[in-house]
Amino acid sequence: MKVSCSTSFAFLILFLFAVQSMVVYAGSFHKDVQIHWGDGRGKVRDRDGKLLSLSLDKSSGSGFQSHQEFLYGKAEVQMKLVPGNSAGTVTTFYLKSPGTTWDEIDFEFLGNISGHPYTLHTNVYTRGSGDKEQQFHLWFDPTVNFHTYCITWNPQRIIFTVDGIPIREFKNSESTGVPFPKNQPMRLYASLWEAEHWATRGGLEKTDWTKAPFTAFYRNYNVEGCVWANGRSSCPANSPWFAQKLDKAGEDKVKWAQSKYMVYNYCTDKRRFPQGVPRVCT
């Protein structure tokens, strides 16, 4: 088959557009976030702002926050957690609005004694009310290599993914009276802090401060979202995440993750909810 120069050029343009659309443009810790607490325990490690570390010792932890607020978005980062005996430590990546009736979407990694797995704790708060915890033991050691954690928040659902695998979907169920975070812009936060009174086996395992400082690493931070400014949000045009939902393959991956690796689900905790599980579970 003979292909004309114009046809070849058209194919080239389509190819270049497709390649460009697949590129992930990572943000910069230098320009996108502020290390807002920790007195020097949080550090950007390279000139390009791609790698950041947070540390915890007996005096203080550390954390950073995004400069911008977002009303919906897709936020992801790669993390390598505290190795060894990390009991009592909590490493986080989450969205949160200010105030006493805040909204919040959580990834929290609860440390453990050496040889025992981290617990990945997920939760969704609306107007200051949470109580929607699901917890997982990961299928890999999150302290050896970097792994990608992503929160997709759009008007219809919140999707939590680990290395591209969806592990939880929290749908907008306002039609049944279940609140959904949709009105309060949120910042991205990350932190490393001490919570030995509850983080590991309900507080039975305490922090071994002889192992301090504890250090976690973050890299390839990237947020694409509806930026909130001057009382309104501005969304990127034609963003796939804004209407993203799980297809059959995605739903099957959630079932796989929850059947094999979920260790706590508020929807099945009858002792905690003796009058019946929350409406969002039904």
Question: Can you give the residue range of the structural domain that contains 122?
Answer: 29-281
CATH number of the domain bearing residue 71: 2.60.120.200
Which residues are annotated as catalytic? Answer: 104, 108
Looking at every residue in the chain, the average pLDDT score rounds to 90
Task: State the pLDDT at residue 276.
Answer: 83
Q: Which residues contact residue 171 at a Cβ distance below 8 angstroms, ignoring those fewer than 6 apart?
A: 156, 157
101-131 pLDDT, tens digit each: 999 999 999 999 999 999 999 999 999 999 9
In a domain, 106, yes or no: yes
In a domain, 216, yes or no: yes
What number is the average pLDDT over the span 267-276?
90
In a domain, 176, yes or no: yes
pLDDT at 20 over 70: no
Confidence bin at 26 (pLDDT 50/70/90): low
Percent of the chain with pLDDT over 90: 81
28-44 pLDDT, tens digit each: 999 999 999 999 999 99
CA distance 107 to 162: 10
In a domain, 251, yes or no: yes
Q: Count the domains in the chain.
A: 1
Q: Which residues contact residue 82 at a Cβ distance below 8 angstroms, ignoring those fewer than 6 apart?
A: 56, 89, 91, 111, 143, 192, 214, 215, 216
Which residue did the predictor score with more confidence, 21 or 275? 275
In a domain, 9, yes or no: no
What number is the average pLDDT over the span 49-67?
97
What number is the average pLDDT over the span 163-176?
96
In a domain, 247, yes or no: yes
pLDDT at 21 over 70: no
Give the chain's largest Cα–Cα span: 74
CA-nearest of 122, 149, 146, 138 to 53 is 146
CA-nearest of 97, 254, 72, 250 to 158 is 72
Task: State the pLDDT at residue 9.
Answer: 37
In a domain, 22, yes or no: no
In a domain, 271, yes or no: yes
